[in-house]
């Protein structure tokens, strides 16, 4: 019998954060640095920095992005197509801080061998096990194997969007941080092609509750359209927020600038798109559909300017709700349901 969950499912656009009395008279009083613990690592390590991550996509998870984000203590999740030789070459010219990058991997034997080569070549503290459908048994099996061989590695794994899979990955598979998001990304068409997904705010709230009860954490991955969405993700309980499309289109993104009708653009595409499959796998298999789009997005210059806008917006959120530190946003947040966020009458 078909089942329906009648509980309301919400996205970032469905809510606003209610302001509260605050003693913070300046954004400069807000501390965005956060310390995170890792229950499943053998040595029970901790990490401190600004918990925002550049997504492990071709157009954002690059060495160039790392060079711009790492001075601000943000993390770059490198895309999974870098080799050990690539890491060695970059590490020799620009020393990699192991606290501020993730090595990404799929779950095939070839992926595991490539990962082993990278971990033998550079000092690394984070591995992001990244597949589109985190509900398959093979993801958990891979994480168990990874945890057994590397007991002190911080394991990020996903993507999922429900509490039971968060619990499975943390309890039974040795995962520290679970990546949350099925279909919310701007270049993702999974929801259109499959009808599967959970609105991102609801997914983050439910999965954060499950993870925190077990001493684990989550990354809110996808659905970010503006700085306010990042604040809402933290308000919903996310430990980290991963950003793709809003970090794309910058100097740090690969590819040439494309001019159309006097305007400048850069290419951005989902990692399950036909473009990604043609680039990295020689084409799309006939038994599957493309679940991503290739887009032209406006060229934005250096990521530093965008980053200042985002970090400034989050600090401003904190002053509106009395959160002295980023980690206080969740306990200071009350969401209100809304019919619209912005007065659009003068926006063309």
3-state secondary structure of 191: helix
Q: Which two tokens stand for residue 264?
A: 């400048």
CB of 243 within 8 A of CB of 224?
yes
Distance (Å, rounded) from C-alpha 33 to C-alpha 62? 23
Cα of first residue to Cα of last residue in the chain, in angstroms, is 47
Of the listed 190, 306, 317, 319, which one is catalytic? 190
Residue among 140, 212, 166, 183 nearest 271 (CA): 183
CB of 12 within 8 A of CB of 233?
yes
CB of 258 within 8 A of CB of 267?
yes
3-state secondary structure of 263: strand
**Residue 258 backbone zone (phi > 0: left; psi -120 to 50: alpha; other: beta):** beta
Distance of CA 6 to the CA centre of its chain: 28
Q: Is 188 a catalytic residue?
A: yes
Read off φ and ψ for residue 332, nearest 5 degrees. -100, 0
**Residue 271 backbone zone (phi > 0: left; psi -120 to 50: alpha; other: beta):** alpha
Q: Is 190 a catalytic residue?
A: yes
Of the listed 124, 128, 143, 188, which one is catalytic? 188
Distance (Å, rounded) from C-alpha 77 to C-alpha 74? 10
Question: Annotated active-site positions, please?
Answer: 188, 190
């Amino acid at each position: 019998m078909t089942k329906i969950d009648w509980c309301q499912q919400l996205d970032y656009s469905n809510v606003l954060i209610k302001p509260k009395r605050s003693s913070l008279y300046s954004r400069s009083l807000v501390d965005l640095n956060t310390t995170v613990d890792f229950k499943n690592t053998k040595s029970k390590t901790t990490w401190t920095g600004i918990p925002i991550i550049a997504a492990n996509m071709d157009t954002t998870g690059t060495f160039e992005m790392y060079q711009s984000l790492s001075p601000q203590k943000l993390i770059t999740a490198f895309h999974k197509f870098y080799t050990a030789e690539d890491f060695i070459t970059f590490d020799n010219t620009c020393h990699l801080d192991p606290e501020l990058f993730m090595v990404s991997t799929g779950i095939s034997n070839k992926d595991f061998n490539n990962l082993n080569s990278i971990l033998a070549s550079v000092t690394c503290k984070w591995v992001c096990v990244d597949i589109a459908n985190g509900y398959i048994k093979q993801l958990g099996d891979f994480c168990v194997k990874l945890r057994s061989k590397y007991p002190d590695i911080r394991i990020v794994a996903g993507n999922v969007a429900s509490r039971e899979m968060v619990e499975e990955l943390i309890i039974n598979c040795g995962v520290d941080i679970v990546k949350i998001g099925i279909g919310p990304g701007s270049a993702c068409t999974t929801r259109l092609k499959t009808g599967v997904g959970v609105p991102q705010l609801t997914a983050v709230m439910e999965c954060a509750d499950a993870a925190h009860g077990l001493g684990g954490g989550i990354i809110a991955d996808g659905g970010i359209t503006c700085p306010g969405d990042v604040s809402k993700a933290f308000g919903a309980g996310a430990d980290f927020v991963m950003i793709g499309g809003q970090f794309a289109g910058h100097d740090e993104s690969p590819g040439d600038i494309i001019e159309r009708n006097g305007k400048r653009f850069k290419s951005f595409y989902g990692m399950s798109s036909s473009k990604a499959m043609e680039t990295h796998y020689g084409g799309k298999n006939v038994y599957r559909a493309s679940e991503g789009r290739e887009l032209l997005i406006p060229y934005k210059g250096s990521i530093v300017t965008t980053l200042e806008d985002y970090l400034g917006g989050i600090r401003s959120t904190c002053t509106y709700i009395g959160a002295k530190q980023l980690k206080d946003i969740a306990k200071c947040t009350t969401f209100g349901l809304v019919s619209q966020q912005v007065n659009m009458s003068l926006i063309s």
